[in-house]
Structure 1
């Protein structure tokens, strides 16, 4: 379903208002990273550690980022950049919190997912700026 949706989106939404273009493969990778981060953060929050609030907020931000990327019509480049910045900031905060629990495998997995999500969001930002 994701591949079908991305095919339709790439045909209809290759450029955003204002002339910015979006690499649909990169966007899909970013959404996948956001989804993985959302799932890891949710699992981590269920451990009831001190990072739970950060993890739940990060999960919510990743979910919002994915939904925004799927609704690109009417999305202006400055708005998309702000959303990507917010997602990157939330992932950084969550990763920092989870890294404090070095002995917990779930927290380590969550921190890795946050890093991957940040990397994917930064790649999308860089492609939009080019």
Structure 2
């Protein structure tokens, strides 16, 4: 019973992290394929996607470490959003928006102490 409550409580953050992971991976791919000057953006998107994937895993299982990781995830998402916002490409704008949503959800999770 307690497990389903934890999972339900974390679902919004899990969804935001999963969406952010996908957006970052798509942005990374397009940055690399279309413009070599966007290497910093591409690298940061990979870091952000990795931390989001880990948040999904820890939140989904109700790990006691999820809140701490969510704080770090929020910081990386904010940095990724700021980097992506430097570019006019639609995929960068979509990634930045997903990162901002994820950062907000992760901050709420970190504050709640999951």
Q: TM-score range, shorter-chain basis?
A: 0.7 to 0.9
CA RMSD of aligned residues (A): 1.9
> Are 1:115 and 2:100 counterparts?
yes
Matches within 5 A, 1:1-130: 11-13=1-3, 22=6, 24-47=7-30, 48=32, 49-50=38-39, 51-72=41-62, 75-76=63-64, 79-101=65-87, 103-128=88-113
Structure possessing the higher radius of gyration over alpha carbons: 1
Scaled by the length of structure 2, the TM-score of the pair is: 0.83
Richer in helix (by share): 2
Q: 8 Å contact 1:40–1:110 — kept in the other structure? A: yes
Note the residue ranges of structure 2 that are not aligned, 5 or more in a row. 33-37
Aligned partner of residue 83 in structure 2, secondary structure: helix
Scaled by the length of structure 1, the TM-score of the pair is: 0.74
Instruction: Indicate how the Cα distance of structure 1 residues 112 and 26 shifts in structure 2: closer, same or farther if over 3 A, else same.
Output: farther
Instruction: List, as ranges, runs of 4+ consecutive aligned residues in structure 1 with deviation greater than 6 Å.
Output: none
- The number of aligned residues is 107
Shift of 1:14: 6.6
Note the residue ranges of structure 1 that are not aligned, 5 or more in a row. 1-10, 16-21
Cα distance between partner residues in 1 of 2:74 and 2:9: 16
